[in-house]
Amino acid sequence: MRPAHDYAQRGGLRQVWRCAQRTNDRNNLLTLSFSSSKMQSLSSSYAATVSVPRHSFPLSRGTLAPSNLCFCGLRRQAFAPASLHRLHSRRRSHFSAVSAALSDNGTAPKSFDYDLLIIGAGVGGHGAALHAVEKGLKTAIVEGDVVGGTCVNRGCVPSKALLAVSGRMRELRNDHHLKSLGLQVSAAGYDRQAVADHANNLASKIRGNLTNSMKALGVDILTGFGTILGPQKVKVGSSNNVVTAKDIIIATGSVPFVPKGIEVDGKTVITSDHALKLEIVPDWIAIVGSGYIGLEFSDVYTALGSEVTFVEALDQLMPGFDPEISKLAQRVLINPRNIDYHTGVFASKITPARDGKPVTIELIDAKTKEHKDTLEVDAALIATGRAPFTQGLGLENIDVVTQRGFVPVDERLRVTDSNGNLVPHLYCIGDANGKMMLAHAASAQGISVVEQVTGRDHVLNHLSIPAACFTHPEISMVGLTEPQAREKGEKEEFEVSVAKTSFKANTKALAENEGEGLAKLIYRPDNGEILGVHIFGLHAADLIHEASNAIALGTRIQLFNIDENLSSHVNFQHCSATPQDIKFAVHAHPTLSEVLDELFKSAKIMVWQDEVQAPQVPDTIKMVMQSSPVQLGSNFQVFM
């Protein structure tokens, strides 16, 4: 077969890459040239050498300077000349088609089996694998259990199926709500096994979707437990199957954490893994822990007719939420329902039901450790959080010591050894590193790592990652809580302000007769920076993303707020800072999104007056200012 470079003079870039597809000869060095009007082959003036699979274009000479152009991948920057911008636009669809058509998933260097090997096929590993294929890496993923990990099989996915049922049951059994809408419904009931099947079937469907998506893109799925034998070397399963890779990602996830003294039998004393199977709906169940997991299961069990008792070690329920939000949520989600609670106590010992005796729970004071009470219930759910699943990974072979089971990493998710030194070509994402134990955070971390191994520096801003609790109504949040923000403000010497808006002022919420809810904005009044947003109310989990994206993109509430006497001295005609002001975003009416619209509009940004030092300008605006002819009056300063 004719190698790809033989075609370079006979049809330009399109023919070259079509040939590369046919011959799989992408390791050949292609000499391509670019001019300000069109691309021509064999031009000595602007020669660029392309070496696959590193996907970068080191220019030997010439005036063009592409900073990060990639053939394989969606992220690329065009060259500076306008004609090349137009050429890039015309070629965009062809490049995407080529990337999607590479069924061999890239070609690994000869010294390695793969460019990237991922240990763990959960949501984090899956996200990393798909992005790696997009970037042209030859990729394999190792899974010792089932594809999808905790989220798909024992977490986010089946729990949302159960919560969908609990939400419908609440609506059908809320006579007052139905009558207010003019509806009459006879007594609602449910089939426990059918509900359980709904959750199981959903998990199976999503698991199949994830598996098929990786297979379709050419990701090799290696079955067996992955053990790191040394640098860039992993044993798969119990056999002597050793796989090498230039870069390795640990994405092994987590398992339910069960404190000492608690005996789990999987029937009457259960974890979330067991509860999702819904093998029983007990008359009375104690839930140990009132975080996300405990709250969601309390929603399910009470909707299906159970009484619930919370056992919480801290002095208040829902300790991980913003205090104001948790206070409102307790009034709506706890107090009116068949729920009672014990706070400030540990469940020091839990014994499953046996020989006709109920489940017994010994409670001790969290501070004094003195015995407080003994509960006898039909079942107990242990919802005390999750522990990283990192045992047996072979970390000792590369001198890595876990911290409470978590793999130590730096801000770029690179694994560090016992001396604090980076372990080359080894990364850890998701629950296993403990930075943020959420499925979508794991996926974002995986994508961030792939960006790094393909030559683009990337640091994930974890404060921009949202979280949600899918109760009825829902709770969502992003960024800092009010106490955290005030502590940060005191330490860094800036003022913190809070704005709030109620769902009772929202037309769509009132039309649904669901006006119970609150949105809360925590921000800096001096520069409009969004520090945190917390929402409790109808579809809060969907609403939070406008705020999380604003934080991720550095969008301010309102960057420039100029005193009238000062505005005449300032010319922002050429500065595109105004589009960064989320306060002026437009929302469709009537929608729930207007809750966020009113929230941002209610924020009070400081007026910049004469001879007052302006706050620091964010980097996104600073770049615009530095490249734009912004004119400032003599009495106005922008400190960069």
pLDDT single digits (tens) 447-479: 999 999 999 999 999 999 999 999 999 999 999
Q: Does the structure show a pLDDT above 90 at 409?
A: yes
Q: How far is the C-alpha of 185 from the C-alpha of 175, rounded, in Å?
A: 8
Torsion over CA: 509, 308, 165, 276 (sign): positive
The secondary structure of 118-153, three-state, reads: EECCEHHHHHHHHHHHHCCCCEEEEECCCCEHHHHH
Tokens of 30: 């292609």
Residue 284: closest CA among 250, 304, 309? 309
Q: For 303, list phi and psi in degrees, rounded to 5.
A: -65, -30
Residue 87: closest CA among 51, 33, 42, 8? 33
Res 192: pLDDT: 96
- Half-sphere exposure (Cβ direction) of 146: Cα atoms closer than 13 Å: 13
401 residue type, one letter? V
β-strands 269-271, 254-256 pairing: unpaired
Per the prediction, the chain carries an average pLDDT of 81
DSSP string, 514-579: ----EEEEEE-TTT--EEEEEEEETTHHHHHHHHHHHHHHT-BS-S--B-HHHHTT-B-TT-TTGG
Tokens of 596: 């966020």
Tokens of 261: 């003294």
Taking only the tens place, the pLDDT of each residue in 320-354 is 999 999 999 999 999 999 999 999 999 999 999 99
- Half-sphere exposure (Cβ direction) of 43: Cα atoms closer than 13 Å: 17
User: CB–CB of 402/387 below 8 Å?
Assistant: no
Active site residue 589: yes
- Half-sphere exposure (Cβ direction) of 203: Cα atoms closer than 13 Å: 27
pTM score, two decimals?
Answer: 0.77
Counting every residue written for the chain, the total comes to 640
Taking only the tens place, the pLDDT of each residue in 118-176 is 999 999 999 999 999 999 999 999 999 899 999 999 999 999 999 999 999 999 988 88
Q: How far is the C-alpha of 118 from the C-alpha of 139, rounded, in Å?
A: 8
The one catalytic residue among 85, 94, 458, 589: 589
Q: What angle (nearest 5°) sits at the alpha carbon of residue 582, between those of residues 578 and 587?
A: 120
Res 623: pLDDT: 39
- Cα-based distances in Å from 74 to 103, 107, 242, 620: 17, 18, 32, 22
Res 272: pLDDT: 96
Q: Does the structure show a pLDDT above 90 at 396?
A: yes
- More confident: 79 or 177: 177
Res 186: pLDDT: 84
